[in-house]
Structure 1
């Protein structure tokens, strides 16, 4: 059995907006819950080979799919919100204009039925790469008093769904049940040596820390998956002997409120990339690098 290792990936050397510039259509920035392109690209490069199939059951604006086709992989995505699905298709068209060699398809639908939506891909995926929703609204974009000189905070692009049937609108237990269904369906799409990678971070709800990575590990076991590896994907930058802060205004705001109450709250500086396998011998990042 391959020894499990813990790895740290420097995926935050550039801010999200810089990573997307010219590679994605400008309107992509309107989505408030995007996967960091550097995380997607590194995961795809680590766990797949050119020509392999990559699937994202909640593909949003298509970050996983775009990075896959740029790396010569093929991809398929499902997105519940039709508007974001259309933008994912547009981003893929943009990628092809830039010379991406992989092919990809996007379906608008409910990923809880992904095995039914993608029946022709059963047993074919080398990698399923996705992230669970964090709620109906995320922090989006803001302009604070410091920016405008006017009192108050203005937010925009903070909503990615108004459909109450979207998992993002459900309570945490219902969201986790739905995500467990998605993982179960994705398991049927994996080939024998394939892996499921979930990028996820803790978040605060009304000041309380929600251990979403821990919850995801528990529901993955329910779906018949075993934790094979855990990668620390840095959201901060590394440079000149110090961390370059990439925390959002709202992360810092929550931290400052905690400090005022005497609580040692810090802004999140990384995401977990949890790697799950159906095999007894884990498919770790180090093992995949050796195989490549």
Structure 2
């Protein structure tokens, strides 16, 4: 992927052209058709670029909230070893099916999925402690997302019909929690992931602001604070484009609801625009001190 970077005193700011193809085209043939039913899938181009940039062949890559297994599939295609944790049995089984599909396509890496609550990730993956080169994941954005939409323009019927817009109806799912509880739970997940990472390992988090009853929630900023409290240091900030780059213009990839909300806001005089990028926050676990290393590694 093409990228530009600008260095700052604390971190690097980069732009990745990850939206040159629409999401469904990035998945076509590479993932099973049922994958489109998940309401908040990570863009494969983002996952692949993160894995290629921040890990090497044979490295261990972990996704504690793996959904349909995008991180695991892209890791397998790049020759990494992947482990995912997924709260929902339905999505975990689909992640395993996608991994099997990747192997049939010749992916040289491997992967497995553990069904469980990532807030206890160290108990679920005790054998991984200190082994992972990269953790790649994304927090949920509430109990439901835009999902798939058919408007009256498409159906000829009045109203808007939505489907595939819920993670689940299980109230124990982190997606159902209030923002403070979501951040507390995600902080526990990150604290566990710090224990899984090897010294100097990377935790990469895709996240974006969202609106709740019209209020813009700075989720990236709050995730940075939670990650810092978990013991991670911010190393890079990446703008992952969801729009495409044409010769003389941006190629819009916004959903029906994103455009609808932007137009409603603009009609009220509010400077609302459709989302055109995903924030990618790159954190590092501090390197080991000499006293923390095994005798043979000093």
Q: TM-score by structure 1 length? A: 0.94
**Per-residue deviation, residues 215-242 of structure 1 (Å, max 9, x unmatched):** 1001111101111110110000001211
Gaps of 5+ in 2: 1-7, 289-298
Preserved CA contact (<8 Å) 2:64 2:86: yes
**Per-residue deviation, residues 34-56 of structure 1 (Å, max 9, x unmatched):** 00000000000000000000000
Report the equivalent of 1:150: 157
Report the equivalent of 2:55: 48
Q: RCO (CA 8 Å, sep 6+): is it higher in 1 or 2?
A: 1
Q: Select which of 25, 28, 40 maps to 1:21.
A: 28
Offset, 1:61: 0.2
1:260 aligns with 2:267: yes
Offset, 1:149: 2.1
Report the equivalent of 1:285: none
Report the equivalent of 1:231: 238
User: Equivalents in 2 of 1:73, 1:280: separation in Å?
Assistant: 22
Preserved CA contact (<8 Å) 1:114 1:185: yes
Q: Secondary structure at the match of 1:173?
A: helix
Q: Select which of 68, 76, 80 maps to 2:83.
A: 76
Offset, 1:2: 9.0
Offset, 1:179: 0.1
User: Equivalents in 1 of 2:156, 2:48: separation in Å?
Assistant: 39
Preserved CA contact (<8 Å) 1:207 1:254: no
1:128 aligns with 2:141: no
User: Equivalents in 1 of 2:250, 2:166: separation in Å?
Assistant: 30
User: Equivalents in 2 of 1:146, 1:240: separation in Å?
Assistant: 30
User: Equivalents in 1 of 2:36, 2:61: separation in Å?
Assistant: 23
Report the equivalent of 1:92: 99
1:206 aligns with 2:209: no
Q: TM-score by structure 2 length? A: 0.92
Query: Which of structure 1's runs of 4+ aligned residues deviate more than 4 A?
Result: none
Preserved CA contact (<8 Å) 2:63 2:85: yes
User: Equivalents in 2 of 1:32, 1:4: separation in Å?
Assistant: 32
Report the equivalent of 2:45: 38
Report the equivalent of 1:64: 71
Q: Secondary structure at the match of 1:213?
A: helix
**Cα root mean square deviation, aligned:** 1.4
**Per-residue deviation, residues 121-178 of structure 1 (Å, max 9, x unmatched):** 1001110000000011111000011212222101110111110011100000000000
- The number of equivalent residue pairs is 281
User: Equivalents in 2 of 1:14, 1:193: separation in Å?
Assistant: 33
